[in-house]
Amino acid sequence: MKQGRFSDAAAYAERESLQEAGSGTFWLTQQARALVRIPDYPRALEIARKALEIEPDSAYAVSAAADALGGLQRFEEALQHYEELLREPRLIRKGRKGILSCLAAMKEWETLLERLSGWSLPEKESLPWRIKGSAGLGRIDDALKATSRLLELSPHDRSALWERTELEIRKAGLDEAIRKMGRMSRIPSLPPVYREIYASLLRREGREEEAIGVYDSITAQGGEPRIQKKQVFTMAKSGREKEAIPLLEEFLRNEPEDIYLNSSYVAACKRIGEAERGINFYQKLLGLFPQAKSLYGRIRSLHKHLEQKQ
Percent of the chain scoring above 70 in pLDDT: 98
Give the separation between CA 256 and CA 224, rounded to whole angstroms: 19
**More confidently predicted of 279 and 4:** 279
* Interval 208-232 mean pLDDT: 86
Measured over all CA atoms, what is the biggest interatomic distance in the chain, rounded to whole angstroms?
Answer: 65
Q: Is the pLDDT of residue 21 over 80?
A: no
What pTM was computed for the model?
Answer: 0.77
Give the separation between CA 49 and CA 61, rounded to whole angstroms: 8
Q: How far is CA 187 from CA 180, 191, 241, in A?
A: 12, 9, 32
Residue 53, C-beta contacts closer than 8 angstroms, at least 6 positions apart: none
The three-class DSSP label of residue 125 is: helix
| Type of residue found at 294 | S
Q: What is the mean pLDDT of the chain?
A: 93
Q: Is the pLDDT of residue 81 over 80?
A: yes
**More confidently predicted of 109 and 217:** 109
Looking at residue 297, its pLDDT comes to 92
Q: Is the pLDDT of residue 238 over 90?
A: no
208 neighbors 237 (Cβ within 8 angstroms): yes
User: pLDDT digit string (tens) for 145-158?
Assistant: 999 999 999 999 99
Looking at residue 176, its pLDDT comes to 96
User: pLDDT digit string (tens) for 245-269?
Assistant: 999 999 999 889 888 999 999 999 9
Give the separation between CA 256 and CA 293, rounded to whole angstroms: 10
